[in-house]
Amino acid sequence: MIVFAAFLLTVPWTVPALINSFWVSVIAEILIWSLFAASANLLFGYVGLLSFGQALFFGFGMYGVGIGIDQLGLSFWPAFGLGIAASMAMALVAGVFAVRLTWHYFAIITVVFSLIFYFLAVSMKWLTGGDDGINFALPPTFSFGSTQWSFADPNFQYFFILATVAVCFYLMHLVIGSSLGKAFVAVRENDVRASLIGLNVYLVRLTAFVMAGFLAGVAGALFAFFGRYASASYMFYNISGEGLVWAIVGGAGTLLGPVVGTTLFIIIREVVSTHWEHHSLIVGVLAILAVILAPKGMVGLWRDALDRITASRADRSAPAKLRIES
């Protein structure tokens, strides 16, 4: 864990030295998409809602930034805020309808919302740039007098993304450990029992939905700054599906599962796609294997392995005690 953190903090120097500087931006992209996968994971892994709509909120985050800068002439922070606010507002509107439903009905309504706004975004050329999307020039993030920091500096860009993603994961960690987080899991496990102990299941689901909208919105806004553009193609529901696959393969219902899954798949994509155009085949096979062989994802496999190691050690040191228990 510490090694992992140390690595992330030194990426701008170690990675160019070890591989090349292209991978710094790949890692930045992995961080952003991890946050997106975390959004799908919050809903599926903790509240038990299979959402194919997270790309919608990612897209709203992107357009909030893109339209904010390009059309409204906002500077960095207001545009960032607009992106996040837009995605949370959209999540609230969609959630009011969607979380009344569960399972396949819920999944379908999230797809429907996604499609509606995808086609709206493509057709409203005056606002969204249609198929071409919006390209914009980046305003500086901080400026003190004549000194400016902006995403033009790759190191600043990397660290800004790292810090933002880290803060979001920390917030999610807090939420999961709180009584609200426990309520999420209670609703996932048994919604009838949850309502009988006095939880407002509808409100708990809606809260989670808006929180997930926040995570996806932050990811979308970061991605807009990172790519200097906003495009409807990221609002399509297949992007939501990818986020879900990353979260499930990495380990749904675990905090860092989405990071693991996203890292794995983006590295595969980057490495294989230069040699072979059908890299998504590998993704598909891995996803199927993970669902069949590791229902708790890679993080689940890792935990089971750790348990087995500690258990076999205990077995060797205290066989008599174990025999009594069994």
Partner 1 sequence: MSEAILRTVNLTKKFGGLTATDNLSLNLPGGRLQAIIGPNGAGKTTLFNLISGLLKPDSGRVFFRDRDITGLRPHEISRLGIKRTMQIKSVFNQLSVTENLWITRQASQRVLHPFRPASRDAATRERVDQTLEQIGMTALAHRIAGTLSYGDIAMLEIGMALISDPQLLLLDEPICGMSPAETERAVAKIRELARRIDIIIIEHDMEVVFGIADDITVLAQGAVLVTGSPDEISNNERVREAYLGRPEDEDYLEEAVNA
199 lines the binding site for partner 1 (CB under 8 A): yes
Backbone angles phi, psi at 74, to 5 degrees: -75, 155
95 lines the binding site for partner 1 (CB under 8 A): no
Tell me how far apart the alpha carbons of residues 186 and 23 are, in angstroms, rounded to a whole number: 41
The contact mask relative to partner 1 for 109-148 (x = CB under 8 A, - = no) is ----------------------------------------
C-beta of 80: minimal distance to partner 1 in Å? Answer: 22
Closest CB to partner 1 among residues 172, 224: 172
What tokens appear for 303 in the block?
A: 């935990």
Tell me how far apart the alpha carbons of residues 230 and 214 are, in angstroms, rounded to a whole number: 18
Query: Strand 134-135 vs strand 147-149: parallel, antiparallel, or unpaired?
Result: unpaired
Closest CB to partner 1 among residues 85, 175: 175
Name residue, tokens 């076999």.
312
**Interface with partner 1 (CB under 8 A), residue from 31, 65, 67, 186:** 186
310 lines the binding site for partner 1 (CB under 8 A): no
**Interface with partner 1 (CB under 8 A), residue from 17, 196, 292, 293:** 196
**Interface with partner 1 (CB under 8 A), residue from 131, 132, 189, 304:** 189
Identify whether the C-beta of residue 92 lies closer than 8 Å to the C-beta of residue 214: no
Long-range contacts of 263-268 (CB under 8 A, 24+ apart): 263/30, 263/34, 264/298, 266/26, 266/29, 266/30, 266/33, 267/26, 267/30
C-beta of 165: minimal distance to partner 1 in Å? Answer: 18
Closest CB to partner 1 among residues 201, 268: 201
Of the ranges 143-151, 180-188, 272-280, 284-292, which one interacts with partner 1 (CB under 8 A)? 180-188
Name residue, tokens 């800068």.
69
25 lines the binding site for partner 1 (CB under 8 A): no
C-beta of 252: minimal distance to partner 1 in Å? Answer: 13
C-beta of 49: minimal distance to partner 1 in Å? Answer: 16
CA distances from 284 to 53, 87, 126, 248, 263 (A): 20, 29, 37, 12, 15
Nearest residue to 87 (alpha-carbon basis) of 213, 241, 228? 213
C-beta of 45: minimal distance to partner 1 in Å? Answer: 12
Identify the three-state secondary structure at position 96: helix
278 lines the binding site for partner 1 (CB under 8 A): no
Backbone angles phi, psi at 262, to 5 degrees: -60, -45
Name residue, tokens 């609200």.
180
The contact mask relative to partner 1 for 205-224 (x = CB under 8 A, - = no) is --x-----------------
Closest CB to partner 1 among residues 27, 255: 255
Backbone angles phi, psi at 265, to 5 degrees: -75, -35
Which residues 156-175 are close enough to bind partner 1 by CB under 8 A? 171, 174-175
155 lines the binding site for partner 1 (CB under 8 A): no
DSSP letter, residue 42: I
Q: How many residues comprise the chain?
A: 326
Closest CB to partner 1 among residues 189, 315: 189
Tell me how far apart the alpha carbons of residues 235 and 244 are, in angstroms, rounded to a whole number: 14
102 lines the binding site for partner 1 (CB under 8 A): no
324 lines the binding site for partner 1 (CB under 8 A): no
Closest CB to partner 1 among residues 2, 196: 196
Name the site residues for partner 1 (rule: CB under 8 A).
Answer: 171, 174-175, 177-183, 185-186, 189-190, 192-201, 204, 207
